[in-house]
Chains A and B, each alone.
Chain A
Amino acid sequence: MTTTLAIRGVTKQFGHGATSVEAVRGVGLSVESGEVLLIMGPSGSGKSTLLSIMGALLRPTAGTVTLNGVAISQLPERDLPPVRLREFGFVFQDFNLLAALSALENVALVAELAGTARAEALRRAGELLTELGLAERVAFLPDQLSGGEKQRVAIARALINDPSVILADEPTANLDSSNGHEIMRTLRAVAKERGRSVVIVSHDQRIRDIADRVVWLEDGQLRDLMTMAVDPVCGMSVEHDRAVTLEQGGELRFFCSRGCRAEFLGELDGPAETRPARTGPLASLFQAVRPKTP
């Protein structure tokens, strides 16, 4: 794995003098390709500010942001739109789809903005949406989609220009449990099968399950780095302290749930066969990652 995005000594100060606020203070962090990084922390801890700095939407007051070896924090504003367009994919809590465009057009638009011909953009958008299980919904307006479907469209939009990094801001906050899990699995598949770095800002404890690494941000500073392990059954990351464990042959294994451990031991019949067949690069997402039994 190679480092995709690195920030060094990043500080962001808003305002001046006595009323100034330091939202982020001397944060250093790097994300590898294929890694899912979860940034957690209480409200007002600077998570979204940090995400905005990482995505070149906000310039740090001090420190550097390096993307694939290029210090993007030093680039002039006029050079940043293409960086945002081609190197980052944004997934928002509120989905932020353009209400006047269909799902297909919402996704294709980003490719068109990057200079792709309309026909090609639509073709690629159609492929992505099909891979994400939305083949039947491409012509629907956002208002006609469920929350989970909207977020999958948003993920397709984030992926269409094949960016290095996906930045997701509370991607499951507006979703029910089932859709939240599906989005989490999708984001993990994006990282693992496409080799993209995925950075997620969230309060949602469930996202810990899919993260390779969790960092805790409080008062603008990183506090603690949690140790994670990969569940050998579902592929999700689990904290050592919270995992269900199994010692076998002198080796300690970590599982996200007793169900996964049972399945590992061959005691559980997986229900995955009942899911509809999917095709495309993300197909394994819907086959290998099975719903877990709590």
Chain B
Amino acid sequence: MTAARLALRSLARHPVRLAASVAGIALALTLTLALDAIYTGVANGLTAYIDHTGADVWVSQAGVRNLHMVASWLPDTVVDQVRAVPGVTDATPILYSTDTVAAGDDRGVAYVIGLPPGAPVGGPWSVVDGTGQPTAGGVVVDAAFARRAGVSVGGQATVMGRSARIVGLTEGTGSLVNSVAFVPFADFRAARGGAPVVSFVLVRVAPGAAPEAVASAIEAKVPGVTAMTGSAFSAGERRLVMDMSADVIAIMDGIGFIVALVVVALTLYIAVHGSRHELAVLKAIGARNRVLYATVLAQSAVSVAAGVAVAVGITAALAVVVPRTGVALEPALTLASVARTAAVGGAVALIAGVLPIRDVAHVDPLTAFRRGGAPA
């Protein structure tokens, strides 16, 4: 407690030095935390469709375990086979492709969903204008995309190489990298040459039935398919996206770690160097080295804790402000991300605190007798 109090008082004694240190640490950690939040936001955007379809089980071509950058084709006879599996309440086929949607001067990548009329699942979940059920020759597009393109309901968009009339606008269907567009099942099939295939079958299970059990039953009874619960399918998609970004995040984490370490180590070095005389006095009056070590470590811990708190605050503020700027990005700050940053901060505090220990150990108590050290 004595060491902690000394550390706090010493830090408070030099508010500018403390502020500079905390700012440096916060900046370095914000770098990693914000990047993590951005990737999490992107992953959230990419899994938004899966998370909101309302399907308990996704049935796909054998081996297909996510949406992003894959193609899944099943003969349409599979739909009836799936319906026949005990525990299945309804089975809705959808067609899916990654394509471009263009409107006005804007064009973007989109998950294009071919949706059967009256589909109980698989359609848009938040319609802000028009209808969520695309009719022949129509398309439902993301509202943010439409805003950027300067179009609205009744306007024209090009999807899958065909011109379509915008019949509805949705929200929550856009991310930094893509959006979701809905076209009639028949239009999609016609654009793809009319082959009697579906991409996925979205299944709702009977009340009381376990989705995992129904998925297993589907795989057992229907050949050539993979059946996964909605949550497992979403997790697979998220994992793929995060795996793709893991290297970048790891690099940024590393950079943030090194920058934070340098900032804290430098600040502590300056603090220790600047207080050598006081440390000498403490030694002269009988303080053991461990008290001095604890003081330095406590200073490090306080600086880093404050830096982590500021970094979390800045990132949380970004998560609120960025979506309001019109950018199709919703940074998401997660507890896991905060915990990882705190762990990085802890490692920084420990290493930066240990570095000056050699200096502290070699402080000569006799310097307390030298004139002009630190008269107070």
Chain B binds chain A: yes
Assembly CA distance A174 to B371 (angstroms) = 10
Question: How distant is B273 from chain A, measured CB to nearest CB, in Å?
Answer: 16
Residues of B within 8 Å of A2, CB to CB, are none
Q: Is the CB of B6 within 8 A of A96?
A: no
Assembly CA distance A157 to B375 (angstroms) = 16
B366 at the interface (CB under 8 A from A): yes
Q: Which positions 85-113 of chain A face chain B at CB distance < 8 Å?
A: 85-86, 88, 90, 92-101, 105, 109-110, 112-113
Assembly CA distance A92 to B376 (angstroms) = 11
How would you classify the secondary structure of chain B's contact residues: helix, strand, loop or mixed? helix
Q: Which positions 73-90 of chain A face chain B at CB distance < 8 Å?
A: 81-86, 88, 90
Q: Is the CB of A99 within 8 A of B278?
A: yes
Q: Is the CB of A52 within 8 A of B12?
A: no
B120 at the interface (CB under 8 A from A): no
Q: Is the CB of B376 within 8 A of A82?
A: no
Question: How distant is A199 from chain B, measured CB to nearest CB, in Å?
Answer: 13
Q: Is the CB of B286 within 8 A of A85?
A: yes
Q: Is the CB of A174 within 8 A of B9?
A: no
A283 at the interface (CB under 8 A from B): no
Q: Is the CB of B369 within 8 A of A143?
A: no
Q: Is the CB of B281 within 8 A of A96?
A: yes
Closest residue on chain A to residue B2 by CB atoms: A112
B318 at the interface (CB under 8 A from A): no
B313 at the interface (CB under 8 A from A): no
Assembly CA distance A118 to B369 (angstroms) = 28
B285 at the interface (CB under 8 A from A): yes
Which chain B residues have a beta carbon within 8 Å of chain A's beta carbons?
1-2, 6, 9-10, 12-13, 277-278, 281-288, 291, 365-366, 368-369, 371-376
Which chain A residues have a beta carbon within 8 Å of chain B's beta carbons?
48, 51-52, 55, 57-58, 81-86, 88, 90, 92-101, 105, 109-110, 112-114, 118, 142-143, 150, 157, 169, 174
Instruction: Known pairs A57-B365, A113-B286, A114-B286; list 18 more (Cβ under 8 Å).
Output: A55-B284, A57-B284, A81-B286, A81-B288, A85-B287, A93-B371, A94-B373, A96-B368, A96-B373, A96-B375, A97-B376, A98-B6, A99-B376, A100-B6, A100-B13, A110-B286, A157-B285, A169-B369
